[in-house]
């Protein structure tokens, strides 16, 4: 027979949340911001956009396209009368 849990539900203190407390909406995690800064510095050290273009053309196109998928907007809306969008991606 399973034990019955006694006490208040997890995460509930019985106190109302103070308005304005906590992290502001949209504020990135400190660790996330630090890692992003390190990645951008490393990218700059190896050649920046030129390095990424070289990876896309010859070395590692699959990881590059994964990166592209991560930085493109997650939701896109059309501006034409019928709501359609035209997206053109090209490599030279």
For each successive 10 residues of the chain (92 residues), what is the average pLDDT? 66 72 79 84 87 85 82 65 68 55
State how far the Cα of 39 lies from the Cα of 35, in Å rounded to an integer: 6
Tokens of 8: 């208040």
Is position 38 within any domain?
yes
Q: What is the reported pTM? A: 0.45
Is position 56 within any domain?
yes
Residue that the structure tokens 């911001």 belong to: 33
Is position 77 within any domain?
no
How far, in whole angstroms, is CA 9 from its chain's centroid? Answer: 32
CB of 76 closer than 8 Å to CB of 68: no
Is position 5 within any domain?
no
Is position 92 within any domain?
no
Q: Domain range spanning residue 42?
A: 30-71
Is position 46 within any domain?
yes
CB of 78 closer than 8 Å to CB of 84: yes
Domain count, the chain: 1
How far, in whole angstroms, is CA 28 from its chain's centroid? Answer: 10
């Amino acid at each position: 027979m399973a034990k019955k849990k006694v006490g208040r539900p997890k995460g509930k203190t019985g106190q109302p949340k103070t308005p304005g407390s906590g992290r502001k909406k949209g504020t990135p995690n400190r660790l996330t911001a630090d890692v992003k800064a390190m990645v951008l510095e490393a990218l700059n050290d190896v050649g920046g956009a030129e390095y990424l273009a070289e990876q896309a053309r010859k070395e590692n196109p699959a990881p590059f396209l994964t990166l592209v998928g991560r930085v493109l907007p997650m939701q896109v809306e059309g501006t034409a009368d019928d709501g359609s969008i035209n997206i053109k991606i090209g490599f030279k």
